[in-house]
Structure 1
């Protein structure tokens, strides 16, 4: 079973600033993953040409309609205050932004969680010689989408082999991201094991390990591409057999400012 996490950056190319959803979809499909968690996904937003990016990626990856789920975090375009509002649920036809999960394996159950927004004081970029100033930056609410998939080998008899896969994108504020990770851990307690968490957690491995003592499946810097210095994108497992073999790697995907994480699991 191969899983992957991709921060799509709305399909925007880091070098040119242009959005190319088809290029992103081809790059994600090339990973060959059975389940892909995608962050920073646009749905019907003007900046990405009104594309339903989840549907475009699902088609490219050979995922059926019932194997793809977009979870809106906000309605509207995140960024400036007043340009978006929290999404209590995904509303079909409503321009939105959030996370997606794509599965080529049969999905036995879908679940979603939404966590409140916060804000953080971040450095404001000023002209040379103007000093350094902090400004309060609004954060958007965050979403978690989970699928319980059937990971039985093709042709295997017997019952289903449920594996829970979660995808999320946490706050850029470290304190808020830690609180969200704790909330996610509580929420996921009753999901079937083994469980794999994928996503841009906006936290380095040391902090993630203290908050969430699950098994890390990949190690390596993922941000900022093309020359990453820190790992913000993670794959973690809970309830995996101690002798389960895993192989993880970091890959460049399209023009995103994050590198993807890809993991092969021998369940």
Structure 2
């Protein structure tokens, strides 16, 4: 019997945000299921957040896919936004986003006067306190939090059984004092790894969401690649790496199956979502995870990767069909 095809997908879901600003968890789950992927990597995933109706987005997608296994890994725990109107409801006069709108819209020399006007109003001061309370309530996730804790992170979902799961916490782009007080703009970053039992043998699949707006993401990718040296091969790393074009390949030496632009969704002109492949058998004497075989199989791309507009999020989903073959001679 010949090797079967395997469909991989990665999607930065922007917590299920629709073009009109609403968040629609059922629409997100249904949209991802239309990809008919066997393994899906998700980034910017909410769990128990007010802005996404308190939904467990990863669980909803897994259910819609008929997945055999999935794992949600938070990067941040706690509320990411103040309590406000539920999705689909009109905001009240005390909605903090409305009170701070003049400040959010101001730029350049107009910024300080706008801040003064906002903070002189009772609603503006209440909104500032609400956002400050949210800021200090969040903390860097440890990875052992209960499922009922609000969180924001990444997820990996598989229609095939998963033999082994592993989390990797990445270097911080912004300091978090004692893991609780954020002293910068960047959130913590994390990766989740799974050894998936496909019909043609095990495949290590990893997803992550790297920092944006700086070169720190390059440090994180190199650091992650080093931590994955001992993982079983073949290995696929999928996700929003916030690195353009060939930079991820140059940093890791791995093949990239994505050669298309994926962001922004409505008119893509930047390629920052990637599917990297490392299917080189480990060198003799290279350390490996205990009990984890290295088949060294080859990942063959069956067609060019596709960017799919699902009508939700600010990213396109990326889909690529592959098959697992024997190692290179």
Shift in Å at residue 54 of structure 1?
1.1
Shift in Å at residue 206 of structure 1?
2.5
Answer 1 or 2: which has greater helix percent: 2
Name the counterpart of 1:253. 310
Shift in Å at residue 22 of structure 1?
0.6
**2: CA distance between counterparts of 1:243 and 1:266?**
6
CA 1:201–1:176: 2 relative to 1, 3 Å: same
Shift in Å at residue 223 of structure 1?
0.8
**2: CA distance between counterparts of 1:223 and 1:90?**
33
Deviating above 3 A after TM superposition, structure 1's stretches of 4 or more consecutive aligned residues are 77-81, 240-243
Name the counterpart of 1:108. 163
**1: CA distance between counterparts of 2:185 and 2:151?**
17
Secondary structure, aligned partner of 2:263: coil
Answer 1 or 2: which has greater strand percent: 1
**Of the two, which has the highest radius of gyration?**
2
Question: What do the CA deviations read for 1:181-229 (whole angstroms, capped 9, x no partner)?
Answer: 0111011111111101100000102221221211111211111111011
TM-score where L is the length of structure 1: 0.86
Structure 2 residues not aligned, in runs of 5+: 1-5, 82-130, 176-182, 281-296, 325-329
Counterpart among 243, 252, 257 of residue 203 in structure 1: 243
TM-score where L is the length of structure 2: 0.70
Secondary structure, aligned partner of 1:42: strand
Name the counterpart of 2:286. none
CA 1:78–1:46: 2 relative to 1, 3 Å: closer
Let me know the Cα RMSD of the aligned residues: 1.9
| Structure 1 contact 202–233 (Cα < 8 Å) conserved | yes
Structure 1 residues not aligned, in runs of 5+: 121-135, 154-160
Name the counterpart of 1:264. 321
Name the counterpart of 2:10. 5
